[in-house]
Structure 1
């Protein structure tokens, strides 16, 4: 759907993760794996999770074809459930356009709590979300809780108070506004770090 080139947020995340000395990275919502493959090619050990077994199969096949299969593991996972990882087991977590899916505010808080649980002290979380400045915000079918369905896709549009609330107990390093795609979609790239 998005091609094989890595997303701009994945390139940024790679630089941030390398600067912090990260080795083990968890990607949430890996899809067909373009960003997981990029991160693995940059030398990280990547655990990629996603809702689609088919997408993860394609990711494993692509990792084998590129000689990256020793650096990539996959697991089918529903983000509304606990992450299938032990406490403090990864150095960094990346999630592009996952938290703004059709998740309630309560489910998003629970997911970020799980991210905090699996991150080692000082670990970094980079995520991207569409926000309330996006052209689709307030259009289509309102589903409540800042969720709007447009063209069959339900999106939870983030506002600044939600970003701030999700950073409670973290160090919020950066909220970077950027655009992506045809509309264009308006997003925030959030970088936050667990205290040591």
Structure 2
């Protein structure tokens, strides 16, 4: 069963808004494993400005800010970003965090070559078509400075939910109201064009457990 991409995207936005409203701080205060790795990688490359895509309520954003990075956090949930700003203010690090409500299906609201590093935990494997992913990757290349690093995580085709639930086509399957685009190796390789693909690390997270890849790549 397939659906119009615009309708699916709008439905996912509403779903995440209500999810954050009903479950404030749903992912807790501790950073993801991927963010810890990314911070180490960004520090090693002497990055200062970090763009985070799909920040949600900001557990990883706040971790980056505490580590001394200036973070631009984008998410399509105004509720999630409000929670992020409130926590940043309470923690005394609001001066290192900028938030913008944004749907990554649209051009990124940043100038060319404006950030040293980009991070996206589980954002690319949301309800984005393969064509939309290629467009987003072009935008990420545009805003990243030469030599900059992009670290992202995605659920992959080895995950137990792959091929089950409601099919939206293009390897997108929906469970419990959440639509996921499951990645295969070919898609990771395609999206790395124009980058130097480094590590593709397989790990598990959360219930089920979810099977993910953590991809680290550098702009050539």
TM interval, shorter chain, is over 0.9
Residue in structure 2 matched with residue 7 of structure 1 by the alignment: 32
Residue in structure 2 matched with residue 133 of structure 1 by the alignment: 158
Residues of 2 paired with 1:34 and 1:191: CA distance?
20
Alignment of 1:15-164 (within 5 A): 15-164=40-189
Give the RMSD, CA atoms, in angstroms.
0.6
Whether 1:169 aligns to 2:194 is yes
The Cα shift of 1:39 comes to 0.2
Q: Secondary structure at the match of 2:34?
A: helix
Residues of 2 paired with 1:66 and 1:155: CA distance?
33
**Any gaps of 5 or more consecutive residues in structure 2?**
1-25
The Cα shift of 1:54 comes to 1.3
Q: Secondary structure at the match of 1:100?
A: coil
Structure ranking higher in helix proportion = 2
Residues of 2 paired with 1:113 and 1:179: CA distance?
28
The Cα shift of 1:151 comes to 1.7
Residue in structure 1 matched with residue 6 of structure 2 by the alignment: none
Q: Secondary structure at the match of 1:137?
A: coil
Residues of 2 paired with 1:129 and 1:74: CA distance?
23
Q: Secondary structure at the match of 2:64?
A: helix
The Cα shift of 1:66 comes to 0.8
Provide the TM-score with structure 1 as the length reference.
Answer: 0.98
Q: Secondary structure at the match of 1:70?
A: helix
Q: Secondary structure at the match of 2:95?
A: coil
Residues of 2 paired with 1:53 and 1:170: CA distance?
31
Aligned residues: 195
Q: Secondary structure at the match of 1:163?
A: helix
1:38-82 deviation digits (Å, cap 9, x = unpaired):
000000000000011111111111111111011000000001000
Residues of 1 paired with 2:85 and 2:207: CA distance?
29
Q: Secondary structure at the match of 1:115?
A: helix
Provide the TM-score with structure 2 as the length reference.
Answer: 0.88
Residues of 1 paired with 2:36 and 2:75: CA distance?
20
